[in-house]
Amino acid sequence: MFVSGVFDKDEVRYADNVPASRIMGAGFLRDCPARERSTNRVATLFKIKICGICSVKDAQLTMLAGADAVGLNFYKESARFIDPEAAQKIVGVLRPTVKRVGLFVNAAAEEINRVAEQLALDYIQLHGDEPPELLAALSERPIIRAFRFGENGAADIAEFLRGCGSGRRPDAILVDAAKPGEYGGTGEVADWDAVAAAKPALDGIPLVLAGGLTPFNVAAAIAKVRPEGVDTASGVESRPGNKDPMLVRAFVNTAKKAFQQLDGAAT
């Protein structure tokens, strides 16, 4: 049974006034031959990200569906792992307006910086057990720090931010569902009520909500949690690493409508 409005054929457009909560500080990025970049950038956090892109076909599908960002998974144990050489072909077909997010799990700073430079990534996403000290060793790109939201609730986030002290902090925090032994992409749904209640612990850092989001629940998730962005991988797949065109388009359209309603209610 389809949810009314989820599978609309027309692309949904919305005005983005870029509230202060979605502005991410960025440092100096080198020019990339594939597209122009300015130094001392201030990056705007994406609203809709499709993660685990493994092919040029899925990258084009995601871009044409209207997603703001694509996620490239460089964690070798993941079913959605992609090596930098294959990722180079993927980013080569993306419009400059589609943000490139590189996902890393417990990788060394040297490896992260090398891949980020090679692919001209817009964001670095840390999805493992990385310590606060690692952030200072990373290139001056916005950093998204992911947390698996389980029994500890926001305690892990608060502890991490305390560990950052007066040094570098994440530019955004991604909250995923917790599953023992897994680093995300499980399809498990996060506890939205608990995440919403924990937002003060983020200390004003923008929130990206992940964890089991699909075209059928993303609108409710946005209304409940009121995140700055949403992220999905398994929720729009026919099988791990392969995106379903109808689900991708439905997810993007539904999320855009939900954000439009959220933005309208805030004005």
At 145, phi and psi to the nearest 5? -105, 120
Has 32 been annotated as catalytic?
no
**Structural contact between residues 82 and 90, judged by C-beta atoms closer than 8 angstroms:** yes
Q: Which of 58, 122, 171, 176 is catalytic?
A: 176
For residues 54 and 73, what is the distance between their CA atoms, to the nearest angstrom?
8
Q: Which of 10, 51, 58, 191 is catalytic?
A: 51
For residues 136 and 143, what is the distance between their CA atoms, to the nearest angstrom?
11
For residues 52 and 78, what is the distance between their CA atoms, to the nearest angstrom?
9
**Structural contact between residues 91 and 71, judged by C-beta atoms closer than 8 angstroms:** no
User: What is the secondary structure of 60-74 as a DSSP string?
Assistant: HHHHHHT-SEEEEE-
**For residue 83, how many C-alpha atoms fall within 13 Å in the half-sphere facing its CB?**
2
Has 51 been annotated as catalytic?
yes
CA dihedral sign, ordered 118, 171, 154, 69: negative
Active site residues per annotation: 51, 176
